[in-house]
Structure 1
């Protein structure tokens, strides 16, 4: 019978420890968990009522931790995910990172490593971006534990050492103690007991400096395990007895059961079966007490969760009803206002329509009067322009006739003088040559031409602009010829006005045709008349 208990009970305790150790690692077992959850739920409801979104997220995260510590993982995950949504919406990056880390730990303990790693990596990215070294070290430690459980020991060492380096830089003794404990656990898995013992010793020293009794108990137990596995049974018993006394002072049933289990193993290996039986029975008693306490706590906690969820559903229903009532009231008010506005708009539109029709009729009358007046003004302006054009045409004709008469007079006088020059009287010849020179100069007199050109431009103001489109090489002599041809004068009159012979006039016309790019056969005068 004793042999059966010695053999079977450690296996039973190991099986129970799998769940209990997870809780102990998280500081679970507080009888105030129910009160904490109830208080948090009230504060959460108040935050919802006040519309304080950030506080809602904080209380959800804390309720997630309480439920997780009590082993209610589904409810815990629900709270965590709601908190994550709020922290993302409010851009609370550090709170979001901490929440992601908690979700990763939850997935780690329910054996979903892929989801745990995904949340760890998201949290690590935020901590590194925000340069939060403490958070970064915490996540490195969690990732290292994840690799240890998957027996990827190289990766586990890598991340644990990264975490340890950061904890030393920021002088975080509690964080460093946990990393040394993790490293000791890895060396223990690899059966490198000397290195495991050294790391557990480092961890214990830091836990004791930080007055972390729970961490100290776990590490002392680990030291006892290492001593037992290396055959140092008496030293193992002493270490475990120290852990047992500390667990008794704390009233921690799980740690008491664990210490009794380890003492039973050590005494069994030392072949002290009475002591082994005693501690195994004692461990069995603590385990039953732990089950009993945990069962009662779980039942009470479930009842509180049920009441809280029921109350939450009622609150949500009431809030939804309030929202619906508000929406209905608001919609009714808006519809009423719209009906009043619509009636006013219809009445106003009828009034405006009648007024617009009257104004439109008046406007048409005014526009008709204005149109008639503008038409009369245009007719008057047209008559004035015609009169001015006729006046300018008469002036142009007068100037042309004066030029012709003047040049004809000069031509006759020149012919007479040339006849006189042919006489043999030498004393008259010199005088006649002088008169001829003066007459030749008068042929190039510009004043009459300027007056003629001014009058021509006033009558044919658009003609000269159109002419420039065909050539930019026209000289003043070309322009005089063009204006005279535009006047439709005879060639003899044109030659007289220009003071050149008809032969010279033909040459000038030929050159002008080339400058205007007229093809052979095109009539120059007809071309100019068409411009």
Structure 2
């Protein structure tokens, strides 16, 4: 279902390139990505990379925006949602600069779909509504229908089937009136999915069959695989096993012809289920084993392709930076050449003037000497200002370190006092005087709740961030599984506190501290015997 959704979005993107006047060779290159990206995402990003390099070289902002949106789509298709969002936002800035409202609407629709994958449904609705209003303004019916279908899909995800039906049927009507068979097929597929969720299998089968016929008319075999397999699922769920096997096998054969490993794995898995239900265990085992091997192959190939995908993405960014640097260098060289020519002209005029008038020469020499003296003075003043700024920065850093030390000492004293008071109260609780015992127990609980809590920790962590700028951000990038408790322990180790003070600050025993340090070492992948505190002190 996801692959089919993305194909429709990407097809709309190709249409946008055509409408914006991109040359025919570029159009064909982008169209080929629709098929190429299914099994070769690394090759698809390479094609986009070449287009983007050309766009940067030609200073073609429109093509740059289209390439960035295409890269965002490819990242979504590979499950890299963070990178996708970054590229979509870059495209958004370019389209906004160009006031390309139709392309902005398409990009907003893509961002909305991305937020469905990220489970940010409210944010998805905001972007879908922006896209819908923009498409209506520019009179793009296909774009409007595509967004309505996405909103219906969002309501389906939320279990709001009544609203999902309303939006899907509005989209279907627009596609039908515009004779957009591929769009109609997608909406019928969405409606079939909703009816299947509601266990209304007859209606689901009807819409899947309509989608299949439309995909056949448009020769969209990738969409056809999905709906044929869905029809097989409907027969399996209604215990019509021979029909289910026939349709699922047809979907498998089509996936094999297209080399779509993902759908091959899905169809063989469904065949295994169906054969198991009819007690044909040999066939069930054969297809289950084949599905398992295809999944392993898919993971293996995907891993290599993801690596190649990111390498191509990195190369593209590097290439774009190099092109920009070359352009800047070329501009500087042109300015230097122009400056040299101007200087030569001035020197010729000056030489002629000096030859004819000796007094002017002396006057110019004096003026030049004064100018150089003024420049030296300005340079010395700038150097002194820089030294003062450096000195001020060092003083500020020293003050922040002192503040951090002060916060740490306050936390230690506070916790030591509370621990001492807690221990005394525990001894008093053991006393036989029952009239004080309940009150003292309450005090013990309150002290436990307040150890290492309150504003001191927030102030300490804030001061630590100011002293060790971006330390936690860099550490999280290396070790994303670190928790807030790990961060507290890391901060105390970073400022080189001993184990006794750390245990007091964290309100735990020495044994618990050893366990926490051991777990932190495992999360950071440190070898046996490697010093944890020393490693953290070395992280800048």
| Class of the TM-score when normalised by the shorter of the 2 chains | 0.5 to 0.7
Structure 2 regions of 5+ residues with no counterpart?
11-33, 350-359, 361-540
Q: CA deviation at 1:220?
A: 0.9
The answer for the alignment partner of 2:88 in structure 1 is: 80
The answer for the alignment partner of 1:62 in structure 2 is: 70
Change (3 A) 1:227 1:93: same
Choose which of 312, 317, 320 in structure 2 pairs with 1:309: 317
Partners of 1:20 and 1:42 in 2: how far apart? 25
Matched, 1:285 2:316: no
Residue correspondence of structure 1 range 361-372 to structure 2 within 5 A = none
Q: CA deviation at 1:64?
A: 2.5
The answer for the alignment partner of 1:42 in structure 2 is: 50
Partners of 1:297 and 1:23 in 2: how far apart? 19
Choose which of 267, 277, 281 in structure 2 pairs with 1:269: 277
CA contact (8 A) 2:61 2:94 kept: yes
The answer for the alignment partner of 1:175 in structure 2 is: 183
Q: CA deviation at 1:151?
A: 0.8
Change (3 A) 1:20 1:169: closer
CA contact (8 A) 1:260 1:283 kept: yes
Partners of 1:209 and 1:122 in 2: how far apart? 32
Partners of 1:68 and 1:133 in 2: how far apart? 25
Partners of 1:289 and 1:23 in 2: how far apart? 23
Choose which of 150, 165, 169 in structure 2 pairs with 1:157: 165
Q: CA deviation at 1:277?
A: 0.9
Q: CA deviation at 1:22?
A: 7.9
Q: CA deviation at 1:255?
A: 0.9
Partners of 2:178 and 2:7 in 1: how far apart? 27
Matched, 1:297 2:305: yes
CA contact (8 A) 1:31 1:297 kept: no
Change (3 A) 1:42 1:203: closer
Q: CA deviation at 1:47?
A: 2.5
Partners of 2:293 and 2:100 in 1: how far apart? 47
Secondary structure of 1:231 counterpart: coil
Secondary structure of 1:308 counterpart: helix
Q: CA deviation at 1:128?
A: 0.6
Partners of 1:121 and 1:80 in 2: how far apart? 17
The answer for the alignment partner of 1:51 in structure 2 is: 59
Partners of 1:134 and 1:240 in 2: how far apart? 32
Partners of 2:3 and 2:183 in 1: how far apart? 22
Q: CA deviation at 1:258?
A: 0.6
The answer for the alignment partner of 2:79 in structure 1 is: 71
Choose which of 150, 153, 156 in structure 2 pairs with 1:142: 150
Partners of 1:333 and 1:110 in 2: how far apart? 59
Residue correspondence of structure 1 range 248-267 to structure 2 within 5 A = 248-267=256-275
CA contact (8 A) 1:256 1:283 kept: yes
Choose which of 205, 223, 226 in structure 2 pairs with 1:197: 205
CA contact (8 A) 2:115 2:121 kept: yes
Partners of 2:289 and 2:5 in 1: how far apart? 23
Choose which of 211, 234, 237 in structure 1 pairs with 2:245: 237
CA contact (8 A) 2:53 2:316 kept: no
Change (3 A) 1:79 1:124: same
Residue correspondence of structure 1 range 476-495 to structure 2 within 5 A = none
Change (3 A) 1:192 1:335: farther
Change (3 A) 1:329 1:64: farther
Partners of 1:328 and 1:56 in 2: how far apart? 30
Partners of 1:315 and 1:220 in 2: how far apart? 48
The CA RMSD over aligned residues, in Å, is 3.3
CA deviation vs aligned residue, 1:78-123 (integer Å, no higher than 9, x gap):
2221111111111111121112222222222233222222221111
Secondary structure of 1:256 counterpart: helix
Q: CA deviation at 1:126?
A: 0.9
The answer for the alignment partner of 1:118 in structure 2 is: 126
Partners of 2:200 and 2:2 in 1: how far apart? 26
Structure 1 regions of 5+ residues with no counterpart?
1-17, 341-346, 348-531
Q: CA deviation at 1:60?
A: 2.1
* Superposition TM-score, scaled by structure 2 size: 0.55
Change (3 A) 1:264 1:73: same
Q: CA deviation at 1:325?
A: 7.4
CA deviation vs aligned residue, 1:250-295 (integer Å, no higher than 9, x gap):
1111111111111111111112211111110011111111112211
Partners of 1:20 and 1:212 in 2: how far apart? 12
CA contact (8 A) 2:109 2:147 kept: yes
* Superposition TM-score, scaled by structure 1 size: 0.55
Q: CA deviation at 1:74?
A: 2.8
Partners of 1:23 and 1:135 in 2: how far apart? 14
CA contact (8 A) 2:212 2:227 kept: yes
Partners of 1:62 and 1:21 in 2: how far apart? 16
Change (3 A) 1:261 1:131: same
Partners of 1:32 and 1:280 in 2: how far apart? 25
Q: CA deviation at 1:144?
A: 0.5
Partners of 1:275 and 1:176 in 2: how far apart? 36
Q: CA deviation at 1:232?
A: 1.2
Q: CA deviation at 1:54?
A: 1.9
Query: Number of residues paired by the alignment?
Result: 326
CA deviation vs aligned residue, 1:299-349 (integer Å, no higher than 9, x gap):
111221222223333334455566677889999999999xx9xxxxxx9xx
Q: CA deviation at 1:37?
A: 2.5
Partners of 2:225 and 2:170 in 1: how far apart? 26
Change (3 A) 1:94 1:331: farther
